[in-house]
């Protein structure tokens, strides 16, 4: 009888693997559009339903609470049924929730955001894990391409939102993107994903580096929680702050997240080359200092140049952090990183669910969104402190 590993390789032939990778890249583009669209369109929904900043923050809370649930459920689904059900279900739910977002009532719109948030939680970890398992020798470059695709979608979301505001019709864009998600899900359902081989850590016990303990895991968990919360908190509130910070003759304030994601995307495109010369901890600390500078410029700016430039610098500074944190997870926990990683991704979803609403709460009770945006700035400071406690340079 053929070995299970041979069967796996036949099920996922190089040609079908390349097709699946291309489809998943397309899925990540629409994933980025769906998840990032709420930020630039938020002022429109605030005016439609008469929302204050605190209630507007519920979109982020519901969306990423759904994401957290999806991450937890997808782990069990992938273990039981493989990658295909989790990814296809996630992509389909992204489309369904997004198509229903322009609901007649605020409560129904929140339900829609929870649906596509749940889809995000199913599709995103499954996609990253499939790429990491199937492209073992080239996983870093493959994952980088995949996440660049997500960044491209996030950038596109701002011009799409600007177009919908100028047209005064939100529904057509929602339906169009939802239809693309449905089509992708149907095509992916017919693809042979296969099951990647599970391999044990080949390193002998005597040569393994010292593994991370509970304390290290807790500090790393704080980094995952605060990083994603800081990123989402900035991009989510960027359009609303830009709209209020200065006078606009058109609705180009909707482009503020585009500059943030442009910084994030361009930074991730160059961070690999930078890491060939500089240590990870140096890049992380330098990135956080740059991000904090960008956050400070953005929240205090009263001109278009300051707003867009600050958003770009904040994204540029944050760009290399998440890949570095994942590298530390793999390095310090070895084969245990798969199990510990589930907790880290859940904490990341928790950060994205809680920190953006916190910005809205601070804004409401202080009467200033500028003060609310001190929350992401504080996130940069917290991450600097945690990295100081971790002392990554001493861990190899």
Average pLDDT of the residues in 278-296: 94
d(CA 2, CA 223): 44
Residues 139 and 249 both lie in one domain: no
In the chain, the number of structural domains is 2
% the chain with pLDDT above 90: 55
pLDDT tens figures, 2-25: 343 433 334 456 678 889 999 999
Domain end, chosen from 141, 167, 195, is at 195
Range of the structural domain that residue 134 is part of: 10-195
Residues 72 and 99 both lie in one domain: yes
Judge whether residue 299 has pLDDT over 90.
yes
d(CA 29, CA 23): 10
Domain end, chosen from 165, 195, 225, is at 195
Any domain includes 202? no
**pLDDT, position 162:** 87
Residues 182 and 276 both lie in one domain: no
In three-state form (DSSP H/G/I as H, E/B as E, the rest C), the secondary structure along 357-382 is: HHHHHHHHHHCCHHHHCHHHHHHHHH
Domain of residue 307, CATH code: 1.20.1250.20
Residues 243 and 309 both lie in one domain: yes
Closest CA to 351 of 316, 329, 378, 319: 378
pLDDT tens figures, 172-188: 999 999 999 999 999 99
Residues 249 and 143 both lie in one domain: no
Residues 57 and 190 both lie in one domain: yes
Helices 256-275/214-245 angle, 10° precision: 140
**pLDDT, position 6:** 38
Judge whether residue 355 has pLDDT over 50.
yes
d(CA 298, CA 292): 10
Residues 33 and 143 both lie in one domain: yes
Any domain includes 200? no
d(CA 350, CA 358): 12
Q: Could you count the other beta carbons within 10 Å of the beta carbon of residue 54?
A: 17
User: How many Å is the Cα radius of gyration of the chain?
Assistant: 21
Any domain includes 201? no
For the ranges 185-194, 296-305, 354-363, the lowest mean pLDDT is seen at 185-194
pLDDT tens figures, 245-255: 999 988 899 99
Closest CA to 185 of 62, 30, 64: 30
Domain end, chosen from 195, 220, 254, is at 195
Residues 189 and 216 both lie in one domain: no
pLDDT tens figures, 22-57: 999 999 999 999 999 998 899 889 999 999 999 999
43 Cβ contact partners less than 8 Å away, ≥ 6 residues apart: 239, 240, 243, 253
Any domain includes 4? no
Residues 151 and 221 both lie in one domain: no
Any domain includes 255? yes
Q: How many CA atoms lie within 13 A of 314 on its CB side?
A: 32
- Is 143 in contact with 36 (CB distance < 8 Å)? no
pLDDT tens figures, 302-333: 999 999 999 999 999 998 888 788 778 877 87
Any domain includes 355? yes
Residues 230 and 288 both lie in one domain: yes
Distance of CA 14 to the CA centre of its chain: 28
Residues 246 and 127 both lie in one domain: no
Any domain includes 251? yes
Any domain includes 205? no
Residues 365 and 322 both lie in one domain: yes
């Amino acid at each position: 009888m053929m070995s299970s590993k041979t069967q796996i390789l036949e099920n996922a032939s190089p040609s079908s693997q390349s097709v699946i990778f291309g489809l998943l890249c397309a899925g990540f583009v629409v994933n980025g559009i769906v998840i990032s669209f709420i930020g630039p369109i938020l002022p429109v929904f605030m005016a439609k339903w008469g929302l204050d900043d605190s209630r507007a923050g519920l979109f982020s809370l519901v969306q990423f609470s759904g994401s957290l649930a999806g991450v937890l459920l997808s782990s069990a689904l992938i273990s039981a049924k493989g990658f295909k059900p989790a990814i296809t279900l996630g992509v389909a739910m992204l489309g369904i929730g997004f198509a229903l977002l322009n609901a007649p009532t605020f409560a129904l719109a929140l339900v829609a955001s929870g649906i596509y948030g749940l889809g995000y939680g199913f599709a995103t970890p499954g996609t990253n894990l499939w790429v990491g398992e199937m492209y073992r020798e080239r996983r870093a470059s493959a994952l980088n391409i995949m996440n660049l695709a997500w960044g491209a979608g996030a950038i596109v979301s701002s011009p799409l939102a600007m177009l919908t505001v100028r047209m005064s019709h939100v529904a057509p864009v929602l339906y169009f993107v939802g239809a693309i998600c449905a089509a992708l899900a149907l095509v992916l359902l017919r693809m042979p994903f296969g099951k990647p081989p599970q391999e044990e850590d080949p390193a002998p016990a005597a040569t393994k580096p010292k593994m991370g303990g509970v304390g290290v895991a807790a500090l790393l968990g704080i980094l995952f929680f605060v990083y994603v919360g800081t990123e989402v908190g900035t991009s989510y509130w960027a359009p609303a702050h830009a709209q209020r910070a200065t006078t606009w003759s058109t609705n180009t304030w909707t482009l503020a997240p585009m500059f943030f994601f442009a910084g994030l995307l361009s930074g991730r495109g160059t961070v690999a080359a930078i890491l060939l010369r500089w240590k990870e901890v140096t890049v992380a600390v330098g990135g956080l200092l740059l991000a904090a500078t960008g956050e400070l410029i953005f929240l205090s700016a009263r001109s278009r140049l300051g707003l867009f430039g600050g958003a770009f610098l904040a994204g540029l500074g944050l760009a290399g952090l998440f890949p570095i944190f994942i590298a530390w997870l793999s390095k310090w926990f070895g084969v245990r990183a798969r199990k510990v990683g589930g907790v880290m991704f859940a904490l990341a979803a928790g950060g994205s669910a809680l920190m953006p609403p916190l910005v809205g709460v601070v804004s409401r009770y202080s009467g200033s969104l500028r003060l609310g945006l001190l929350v992401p700035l504080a996130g940069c400071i917290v991450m600097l402190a945690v990295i100081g406690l971790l002392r990554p340079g001493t861990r190899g």
